[in-house]
Amino acid sequence: MYKKLESTIEDLIDGFDDIPSPRKRSLEEIARFVNKEIHSSGGVEINFICTHNSRRSQMAQIWTKAAAEYYELKGVETFSGGVETT
């Protein structure tokens, strides 16, 4: 992993305590599901969808893949899509 990306991820991790509790619970639920899928079937495919597929889903895809690499989670595949072309 590129050192600059690794450094940015570590800076973001430092801000985890600032995530509001309700959002943190939702994210933890997703993390448990992903972990369960990896352990039960050897991998997980995650597809992010946004209205126009103009940037949000791509950013979610990229950051999720970067986090999986950072935490050395094997078998995580990420995709993005949208409901309209822009």
The model's pLDDT over 59-82, given as tens digits with 9 standing for 90+, comes to 999 999 999 999 999 999 999 988
Q: How confident is the model at residue 86 (pLDDT cuts 50, 70, 90)?
A: low
CA distances for 8 relative to 18, 20, 60, 68, angstroms: 16, 21, 15, 14
